[in-house]
Amino acid sequence: MESKEIQQRVSENLRKIRKAKKMTQLDLAIKSDLSEAMIKNIELNRSWPSEKTLSQITNALEIDVYRLFLPLTIDPEKEKEIKLSIKENIAEAFTKYMEEIINSI
């Protein structure tokens, strides 16, 4: 993947995630302690954020930084539901497994 494609993905993902969280560029700028112009320039792919800036943005959005680099195929709220469902299924399977072990003793 070319660096221009990565930059485009980050800017598109940032905009989609911000909007999914119902935040304006100003909201994100304030929460991340950055300028609104910085957020706008990143979203428009006019500038590339430093590691520190990425960290500030992802902390403000309450996401892991890798999410900006991956294709967005799932709505962030839907992703939360999926993660919760997976955790519940794992806990249920583990509980059944432990019961089987205890019963076999």
pLDDT digits (tens, 9 = 90+) for 9-39: 999 999 999 999 999 999 999 999 999 999 9
The rounded distance, in Å, linking the Cα atoms of 43 and 55 is 15
Contact 60, 21 (CB under 8 A): no
Looking at this protein, which amino acid is placed at residue 5? E
pLDDT at site 69 = 87
Banded pLDDT at 74 (limits 50, 70, 90): low
Q: Which phi and psi (to 5°) does residue 14 adopt?
A: -60, -50
Q: Is the pLDDT of residue 56 over 70?
A: yes
Neighbouring CB atoms inside 10 A of 27's CB total: 15
Residue 73 corresponds to which tokens in the numbers above? 């195929």
* Spatial CB neighbours of 100, under 8 Å, sequence gap ≥ 6: none
Q: Is the pLDDT of residue 81 over 90?
A: no
pLDDT at site 16 = 93
Q: Is the pLDDT of residue 86 over 80?
A: no
Contact 71, 10 (CB under 8 A): no
pLDDT at site 13 = 93
The rounded distance, in Å, linking the Cα atoms of 57 and 42 is 11
| Least confidently predicted of 21-30, 57-66, 80-89, 91-100 | 80-89
pLDDT at site 72 = 63
Contact 17, 63 (CB under 8 A): yes
Q: What average pLDDT does the segment 85-105 reach?
A: 87
pLDDT at site 35 = 97
The rounded distance, in Å, linking the Cα atoms of 75 and 33 is 25
